[in-house]
């Protein structure tokens, strides 16, 4: 279990100038009265004050000095924030229970990520196969069987979630609650069937208990300003938000509800429910849940201007829900008139290009877009549309394709006079991040991109296998084409540059949902 505590160390006041030289201070290990003072005899207030200057790991080590110091370790003022990254492993439970028992009742900001370090093989798999399996299950066919290790993973996950929620159920000081549950590759490709959950929770008692605990937390909250729940396996239901009192809903500043595993056409929040959240400054939802009526609610003069909107577009959601209710361009225009500083972040999982062309309305103030594909590739027409419509806003463009055949990447510039990625770099003058894998990027086009954006392109991540050279470049025997290419890109960017050699080191590719959730959090906080 990794523990991250955000607390800035304070400057410790020193002795008066010249005190040591004048012999004004007591000798080391001696009190003012001349008696020896041990660590265990220090007042609790002083021990807590000492701890306040230490980082979390140092604080834990210092608490081993004696039992008195251990008693002072969990003083509420020392732990206003808990940020936990939990491996979904039975070994985590004793440590988690201890920490949450100590801190759960007073912590003000709690962020928990549940993740499996090593995904078990068998029964589900990854890549396109998993995507196709999820689609088949959505069509009424029996889902693929899961291995015993997968079932153990789900069972442990439910137990850890229960531990976290039960410890904060009566915490009335909680101001920020963020839960993220990317526990299996299946979650990246579609619904985890109730068949799977039925094997680890036959009567549904644990799921019901989790949902009831979540509603208790909302009902007991008195200071909650930030509520974020992403891919947490049915923790949020369509009735969860009704547990929030009107005063809390009226003062909520951030709301994030992302869950591709709710059944059928169910939505986690309606436009009527959204009317209570008049002070909302950032919002994250499944795109299919963000309707034209919601856009009208947010555009109302009674609502404070919205600054950040993050939308997750998933092929599974589109399969079960309709795009007919999505905001039209006039809805986006009205929303941006009321929220002039609004910026939008879209992540698209395996979405067909025809659907993306419908979704991308001209008046969306799109700042970031992330494509992650397993079966369906993004077309050059989509990239070209983005560069033309969002040239004044776009800063982040991520294009990932987890293809099985590594020898035949799609080429966006096929049958085009200009490469769409080069046009993107030329038109979008605020572009600061470009990441590509699984699409052919010609070496001379990448050089052009580097020259067009220069040092303003802070991040340029292109995998080695995605880069190709034309025959003219390879035919020149006097120049090493690879060395020359790297040199030209580096000169264009004004800094040393190299292609990404190992795709497994690129978190945006290996952990797309976690990457999106983490980026969504920072995007929403950066108002």
**Residues above pLDDT 70, as percent of the chain:** 80
What average pLDDT does the segment 264-280 reach? 90
**Is there a single domain that holds both residue 100 and residue 244?**
yes
Quick check: is 130 in a domain? no
Flag whether pLDDT at 137 surpasses 60. no
Q: Distance of CA 421 to CAs 85, 152, 395, 405, Å? A: 36, 44, 13, 22
Could you give phi then psi for residue 383, rounded to 5 degrees? -60, -40
pLDDT level of residue 153 (50, 70, 90 thresholds):
confident
Quick check: is 18 in a domain? no
Write down the H helix ranges in 194-266: 194-200, 205-220, 246-251
Q: How far is residue 501's CA from residue 520's CA, in Å, rounded to a whole number? A: 27
What average pLDDT does the segment 181-208 reach? 67
**Is there a single domain that holds both residue 171 and residue 63?**
no
**Is there a single domain that holds both residue 229 and residue 356?**
yes
Whole-number pLDDT of residue 12: 44
**Is there a single domain that holds both residue 319 and residue 466?**
yes
Quick check: is 508 in a domain? yes
**Is there a single domain that holds both residue 93 and residue 52?**
no
**Is there a single domain that holds both residue 325 and residue 375?**
yes
Whole-number pLDDT of residue 91: 86
Quick check: is 14 in a domain? no
What average pLDDT does the segment 39-56 reach? 86
**Is there a single domain that holds both residue 55 and residue 169?**
no
* Domain count along the chain: 2
Return the closest-CA partner of residue 244 out of 209, 212, 289, 276: 276
Whole-number pLDDT of residue 500: 93
**Is there a single domain that holds both residue 404 and residue 442?**
yes
**What is the SS3 string spanning 412-472?**
CCCCCCCCHHHHHHHHCCCCCEEEEECCEEEHHHHHHHHHHHHHHCCEEEEEHHHEECCHH
* Domain stop point among 60, 78, 96: 78
Q: How far is residue 154's CA from residue 207's CA, in Å, rounded to a whole number? A: 11
**What is the SS3 string spanning 139-202?**
CCCCCCCCCHHHHHHHHHHHHHHHHHHHHHCCCCCCCEEEEECCCCHHHHCCCCCHHHHHHHCC
Q: At what angle do helices 380-389 and 420-427 cross, to 10 degrees?
A: 10
Quick check: is 425 in a domain? yes
**Is there a single domain that holds both residue 281 and residue 412?**
yes
Quick check: is 502 in a domain? yes
| pLDDT tens-digit map of 436-463 | 999 999 999 999 999 999 999 999 999 9
CA-based end-to-end distance of the chain? 30
CATH code where residue 246 lies? 3.80.10.10
* Domain stop point among 28, 63, 78: 78
What average pLDDT does the segment 335-364 reach? 96
* Domain stop point among 24, 57, 78: 78
Q: Distance of CA 288 to CAs 145, 217, 320, 359, Å? A: 29, 27, 9, 10
Q: Which residue has the higher pLDDT, 375 or 247?
A: 247
Quick check: is 308 in a domain? yes
**Is there a single domain that holds both residue 64 and residue 187?**
no
| pLDDT tens-digit map of 384-407 | 999 999 999 999 999 999 876 666
Quick check: is 416 in a domain? yes
**Is there a single domain that holds both residue 244 and residue 377?**
yes
**Is there a single domain that holds both residue 258 and residue 369?**
yes
CATH code where residue 68 lies? 1.20.1280
Instruction: Give residue 319's domain range.
Output: 81-118+148-524
């Amino acid at each position: 279990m990794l523990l991250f505590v955000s607390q800035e160390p304070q400057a410790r006041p020193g002795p008066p100038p010249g005190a040591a030289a004048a012999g004004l201070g007591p000798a080391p290990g001696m009190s003012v009265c001349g008696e020896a003072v041990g660590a265990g005899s220090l007042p609790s207030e002083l021990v807590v004050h000492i701890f306040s200057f230490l980082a979390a790991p140092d604080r834990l080590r210092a608490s081993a000095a004696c039992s008195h110091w251990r008693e002072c370790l969990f003083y509420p003022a020392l732990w206003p924030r808990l940020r936990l990254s939990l491996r979904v492993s039975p070994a985590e439970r004793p440590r988690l229970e201890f920490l949450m028992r100590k801190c759960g009742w007073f912590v003000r900001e709690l962020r928990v990520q549940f993740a499996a370090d090593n995904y078990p093989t068998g029964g589900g798999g990854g890549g396109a196969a998993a995507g196709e399996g999820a689609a088949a299950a959505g069509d009424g066919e029996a889902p693929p069987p899961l291995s015993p290790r997968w079932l153990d993973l789900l069972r442990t996950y439910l137990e850890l979630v229960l531990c976290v929620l039960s410890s904060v159920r009566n915490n009335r000081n909680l101001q920020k609650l963020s839960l993220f549950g990317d526990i299996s590759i299946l979650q990246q490709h579609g619904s985890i069937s109730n068949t799977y959950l039925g094997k680890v929770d036959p009567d549904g008692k644990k799921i019901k208990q989790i949902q009831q605990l979540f509603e208790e937390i909302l009902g007991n909250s008195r200071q909650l300003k930030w509520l974020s729940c992403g891919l947490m396996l049915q923790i949020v239901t369509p009735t969860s938000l009704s547990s929030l009192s009107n005063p809390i809903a009226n003062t909520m500043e951030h709301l994030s509800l992302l869950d591709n595993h709710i059944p059928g056409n169910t939505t986690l929040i309606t436009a009527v429910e959204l009317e209570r959240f008049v002070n909302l400054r950032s919002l994250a939802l499944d795109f299919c849940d963000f309707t034209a009526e919601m856009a009208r609610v947010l555009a109302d003069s009674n609502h404070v201007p919205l600054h950040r909107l993050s939308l997750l577009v998933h092929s599974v959601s589109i399969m079960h829900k309709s795009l007919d209710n999505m905001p039209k361009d006039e809805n986006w225009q009205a929303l941006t008139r009321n929220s002039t500083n609004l910026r939008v972040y879209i992540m698209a999982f395996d979405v067909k290009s025809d659907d993306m062309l419908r979704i991308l309305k001209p008046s969306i103030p799109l700042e970031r877009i992330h494509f992650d594909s397993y079966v369906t590739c993004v077309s050059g027409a989509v990239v070209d549309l983005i560069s033309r419509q969002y040239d004044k806003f776009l800063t982040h463009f991520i294009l990932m394709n987890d293809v099985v055949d590594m020898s035949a990447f799609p080429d966006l510039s096929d049958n085009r006079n200009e490469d769409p990625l080069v046009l993107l770099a030329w038109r979008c003058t605020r572009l600061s991040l470009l990441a590509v894998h699984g699409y052919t990027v010609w070496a001379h086009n990448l050089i052009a991109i580097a020259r067009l954006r220069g040092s303003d392109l802070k991040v340029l991540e292109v995998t080695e296998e995605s880069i190709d050279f034309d025959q003219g470049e390879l035919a020149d025997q006097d120049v090493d084409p690879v060395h020359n290419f790297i040199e030209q890109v580096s000169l264009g960017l004004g800094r040393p540059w190299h292609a990404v050699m190992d795709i497994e080191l690129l978190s945006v590719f290996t952990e797309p949902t976690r990457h999106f959730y983490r980026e969504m959090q920072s995007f929403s906080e950066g108002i």
